[in-house]
A = this chain, B = another copy of it.
Amino acid sequence: MADWTDVSSDRPTRTIWLHDDGRTVVVIDQTLLPHAFETLDLKTVEDAAVAIETMVVRGAPLIGATAAYGMALGMAADPSDAGLEAAAARLLRTRPTAINLHWAVGVVADAMALLPPAARAEAAYTAAADIADDDAAMCSAIGDHGLRIIEEIWEAKGGTGVVQVLTHCNAGWLATVEWGTATAPIYKAFEAGIPIHVWVDETRPRNQGASLTAWELGDRGVPHSVIVDNAGGHLMQHGMVDLCIVGSDRTTAAGDVGNKIGTYLKALAARDNGVPFYAALPSSSIDWSITDGVAAIPIEERDAAEVTHVRGQAPDGSVVTVRLTPAGTAARNYAFDVTPARLVTGIITERGVAPASREGLASLFPDMT
């Protein structure tokens, strides 16, 4: 079994790992970040399901890995066919639209099907570990390909100053198993000794940038500054951004990038100021069946309270939710937007960097198209 803990540091470099007992699954309780760092032990299928439902874990890859480990916890408790069915059903109910979750549960369930119950638990832990390791390897590859872009910018600057990267939302290691997607090139560059500074969009309404990205960059010691989502255009107008790297929830076969609301505005500013704009994503998030993202990617509308209210830490240390608007004010909360491929310099994937076009993506993934 893989080594799930980073023994060289007090803090994990992964978001999910096995306890020394070889059975308990440990995750970071991301609902407490950035105001507290605590881990949570998952001992049952129900624990894993609740962790997914309550967003203790979030980010498609991490949700998938947690669901896979949830299957393993289920097999350890009840490896019968009934136990297998019950575990899968419980986990699939947590977030019905999460494609990665369905995929991961299916992978483990398929691996169980031909095995006798007595062999299932160990095989399920192995399958879950493989899913987690594969995700970490994929993000590492994205980081390696993105690193070359940052190296080129650093060389173009004559190896002086600092490479200024702007990112939006949290496509960081907290959203994956390790490395992250948009953050992977940043961590690789930082480890390679390239002076780097990250402009972290706070990413309203849920503030994943201000809370999660700022926390994880700070945890690794990567220099960064939080800015409001309004600020990036000004920074780019004044030459203070060398490149933008964002993640993606869903990218079309033609390179339109669906991502957290506000990504499109940053891409417009990047184009207007000649700043390269990249999306970093695993090829599993490319939807080869659609082309026009603005027309075809459905945009979730979430609870207006995420706009009218915000959570933060009060001076007494308590975490409270406060209302920003007048009582009773209407609000609308579109969670994602689509950045047309024409604004995207390139798509950084685990196989390399492709132009954001049908031809570009097809050349990297001839097997998928």
Contact = CB atoms under 8 A, between A and B. Distances in A.
A202 B202 contact: no
Interface residues of A, number: 67
B326 A215 contact: yes
Contacts of A207: 324
A153 to B, nearest CB: 21
A215 B325 CA distance: 8
Interface string A16-31: 0000000000000000
Contacts of A328: 218
A218 B330 CA distance: 10
Nearest to A37: B326
A307 B203 CA distance: 12
A324 B206 CA distance: 10
Nearest to A212: B326
Given A323-B313, A325-B34, A265 B232 contact: yes
Nearest to A326: B34
Nearest to A339: B233
A117 B199 CA distance: 58
B312 A226 contact: no
A323 B314 CA distance: 7
Contacts of A33: 326
A257 interface: no
A32 to B, nearest CB: 11
Counted per complex, copies of this chain come to 2
A214 to B, nearest CB: 5
A324 to B, nearest CB: 5
Given A218-B329, A228-B229, A324 B307 contact: no
A338 interface: yes
B214 A329 contact: yes
Interface in A258-302: 260-262, 264-266, 268-269, 272, 294, 299
A220 interface: no
A202 B307 contact: yes
Given A211-B324, A322-B310, A269 B261 contact: no
Contacts of A327: 35
A237 B218 contact: no
A322 B320 CA distance: 8
Interface string A107-128: 0000000000000000000000
A312 B299 contact: no
21 contacts: A33-B326, A199-B332, A204-B230, A210-B307, A211-B325, A214-B325, A218-B328, A226-B307, A226-B329, A227-B334, A229-B262, A230-B337, A231-B262, A231-B332, A231-B333, A232-B265, A233-B265, A234-B264, A237-B338, A312-B323, A314-B322
- The list of the 3 closest CB pairs from A to B, nearest first, reads A230-B262, A312-B322, A34-B326
Given A34-B326, A204-B229, A226-B329, 14 more contacts: A210-B324, A210-B329, A215-B326, A218-B328, A218-B329, A226-B325, A228-B229, A229-B230, A230-B337, A231-B332, A232-B265, A234-B264, A234-B299, A322-B322
